[in-house]
């Protein structure tokens, strides 16, 4: 049943399919100075990674891609379209990822985030992720420079 509240939005998760990769790449290019390319996304799909898009009334709000290991899940990419940022959609996607990972008996969720991405660090910390290390020179930063990544983990089944 459709919600009659005009300010409420119905959202849904769907698997990211190859035919939607171009739309995802467009968001990726608008969201990041060093975006994933089309091949990165297609490789993730070919590898069978968990790839979900979050949409509302056919409008793509964001997406995430995660890789499952033996008893862990590694978040590879999570992105909210720039025009929908700061509305809580990253938390919605992180919650969905957590539910999915727990359903596969994962003990940990792992991710990397640029040291300079204070907003993302705050979101992850608010979701319970802890700093566990630093990967030196992990991300490209332009002009031949590199940026460190903070490695963060969330214990799922203590």
Q: What gap in Å lies between CA 49 and CA 15, rounded to an integer?
A: 10
* DSSP-derived 3-state class of residue 152: strand
Which two tokens mark 150?
Answer: 């903070």
CA distances from 155 to 13, 21, 137, 144 (A): 24, 31, 26, 35
Which two tokens mark 135?
Answer: 């990967």
Catalytic residue ranges: 112, 124
């Amino acid at each position: 049943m459709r919600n009659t509240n005009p300010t409420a939005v119905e959202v849904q998760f769907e698997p990211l399919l190859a035919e939607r990769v171009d739309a995802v790449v467009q968001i990726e290019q608008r969201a990041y100075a060093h975006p994933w390319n089309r091949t990165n996304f297609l490789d993730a799909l070919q590898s069978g990674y968990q790839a979900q898009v979050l949409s509302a009334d056919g409008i793509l709000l964001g997406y995430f891609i995660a890789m499952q290991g033996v008893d862990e899940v590694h978040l590879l990419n999570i992105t909210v379209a720039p025009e929908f940022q700061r509305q809580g959609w990253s938390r919605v996607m992180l919650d969905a990822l957590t539910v999915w990972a727990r359903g596969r008996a994962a003990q940990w969720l792992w991710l990397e985030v640029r040291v300079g991405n204070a907003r993302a660090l705050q979101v992850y910390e608010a979701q319970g992720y802890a700093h566990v290390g630093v990967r030196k020179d992990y991300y490209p930063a332009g002009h031949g420079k590199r940026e460190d990544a903070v490695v963060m983990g969330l214990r799922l089944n203590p």
